[in-house]
A and B are shown apart, each in its own frame.
Chain A
């Protein structure tokens, strides 16, 4: 089956991107050097085509009710102009996806992952069946993330939209554009949803303003340094938010709100999760990768994702380890036990090391 192309596909190819299949899409992995793109974002500004992500608009009298049932965080915080990060859970408390819910007037916008598109849309539709909800996937929109210390000035200069006053996780809509001060890099910036036929012009103007193209490779190293999780690697339907360092995204109040997964999650909460997600940093040489075994003071765990950190100059990752695991650990890399240490993410914020 042919991979889907975003509205920016031709610009990526013209920009000598290395295109790779990703979740059914043909996406830019890098435009030459992933390390250089990572440093561009940390040091100045970079832009990512993330149009492969799934955008779903919810309208109708019961849109709030639907999200109250399915979104583990507090939808009430997603008032018009505000965005809230959280997870959708199955009945066992496992994570179906992590999403951002944007408050609109009226209704909501849900941005979920590309790889989970079908199951998330099905999940929303099934639960909306007995409700008055108008559910519309926005395949007509592109999504561009502009990230880095210079991202805001570059974006405001490249467009006629002054969004410099937007607070983190705030959103502004105008002329079919939605600009949110959110991101996946640990840097300042915006994520912009806009009509497909305007995406190329914005991309070009940002490029003229000095914003570097950045691919999925840099996006992965940036998000991991920032302590942000990747669905399918660090969490999935077999892991709960309590086991994924995402307990802070679960709104337990009001107690009568009966969201899917609540009961199972409450049981796990009362006895305490057996496994938790922690950061690992490698003291020796090598690169931590998904699936490697970690030996800790509290027993064995497993690496969920790992990278060579361009900012720190050594390898870091996430591992799911027994609760109580702390201090030094050993990470099995190609048959050798390499010493490492368990830490609390994030690793890097705004270009600086933040873990202890």
Chain B
């Protein structure tokens, strides 16, 4: 099993953008793939259930798009950019633990056809997100 969840220092890859609410976004072929960060999955603990949006749903940047439930709590997942959901990761229904094991890969949540790709610029880069995580960790 991937040991990432026991490593207290979260993985924050450079080639992703991040929302302060701990979702990541990544542009591939003009679509934006969305998931939750390593910091988020560590904070939540084992994910047991993901309530995904439906293909065709409209999502708005900063608004609730779906829900992730862990052994600890239920958490809203906010859309980092606005647009139309064009794909969801149905594999999470059978294997929600992929969110813990591979948050930036197989643990992705949904893909959006963005209305305005420039919204990506409003998100944090890896350095900015790392500082944001440190400030949140200090509040604990």
By a beta-carbon cutoff of 8 Å, the part of chain A in contact with chain B is 16, 18, 29-36, 217, 221, 285-287, 289, 307-308, 334
Q: Are A31's CB and B6's CB within 8 A?
A: yes
Q: Are B8's CB and A35's CB within 8 A?
A: no
Q: Are A16's CB and B45's CB within 8 A?
A: no
Q: Give the contacting residue for B71; candidates A285, A307, A334; CB below 8 A.
A: A307
The residues of A that contact B45 with a CB separation of less than 8 Å are 18, 29-30, 33-34, 217
The residues of B that contact A32 with a CB separation of less than 8 Å are 3, 5-6
Q: Are A287's CB and B48's CB within 8 A?
A: yes
Query: Is B122 among interface residues, defined by CB-CB distance under 8 A?
Result: no
Interface residue tally on B, bucketed by range: 20 to 34
- Nearest CB of B to A140, in Å: 30
Show 10 residue pairs from A and B whose CB-CB distance is below 8 angstroms, ordered by the A residue. Answer: A16-B6, A18-B8, A33-B6, A33-B46, A34-B71, A217-B72, A285-B49, A286-B49, A308-B49, A308-B71
Query: Is B139 among interface residues, defined by CB-CB distance under 8 A?
Result: no
A35 to B69, CA, bound (A): 14
Residue of A nearest to B101 (CB): A33
The residues of B that contact A35 with a CB separation of less than 8 Å are 46, 48, 71, 97
A31 to B46, CA, bound (A): 11
Q: Are A287's CB and B49's CB within 8 A?
A: yes
Q: Are B69's CB and A16's CB within 8 A?
A: no
By a beta-carbon cutoff of 8 Å, the part of chain B in contact with chain A is 1, 3, 5-8, 42, 45-46, 48-49, 51, 67, 69, 71-74, 97, 100
Q: Give the contacting residue for A16; candidates B7, B48, B67, B72; CB below 8 A.
A: B7
The residues of B that contact A286 with a CB separation of less than 8 Å are 49, 51, 69
- Nearest CB of A to B65, in Å: 14
Given contacts A35-B97, A286-B69, contact A308 B74 (CB under 8 A): no
The residues of A that contact B3 with a CB separation of less than 8 Å are 32
Q: Give the contacting residue for A33; candidates B5, B7, B67, B74; CB below 8 A.
A: B5
Residue of B nearest to A29 (CB): B45
Q: Are A285's CB and B6's CB within 8 A?
A: no
Q: Are A221's CB and B71's CB within 8 A?
A: yes
A303 to B5, CA, bound (A): 30
Q: Give the contacting residue for A308; candidates B5, B7, B48, B51; CB below 8 A.
A: B48
Given contacts A29-B45, A35-B97, A285-B49, contact A308 B6 (CB under 8 A): no
The residues of B that contact A221 with a CB separation of less than 8 Å are 71
Residue of B nearest to A21 (CB): B140
Given contacts A29-B45, A32-B3, A33-B100, contact A287 B69 (CB under 8 A): yes
Q: Are B71's CB and A217's CB within 8 A?
A: yes
The residues of B that contact A29 with a CB separation of less than 8 Å are 45
A308 to B96, CA, bound (A): 12
Q: Are A285's CB and B46's CB within 8 A?
A: no
Q: Are A334's CB and B8's CB within 8 A?
A: no
Residue of A nearest to B7 (CB): A16
- Nearest CB of A to B18, in Å: 22
The residues of A that contact B48 with a CB separation of less than 8 Å are 35, 287, 308
A112 to B5, CA, bound (A): 32
- Nearest CB of B to A352, in Å: 21
- Nearest CB of B to A22, in Å: 13
Residue of A nearest to B96 (CB): A308
Q: Are B100's CB and A285's CB within 8 A?
A: no
Residue of B nearest to A313 (CB): B48
A143 to B71, CA, bound (A): 25
- Nearest CB of B to A89, in Å: 32
The residues of A that contact B72 with a CB separation of less than 8 Å are 34, 217
A51 to B36, CA, bound (A): 35
Q: Are A308's CB and B100's CB within 8 A?
A: no
- Nearest CB of B to A335, in Å: 11
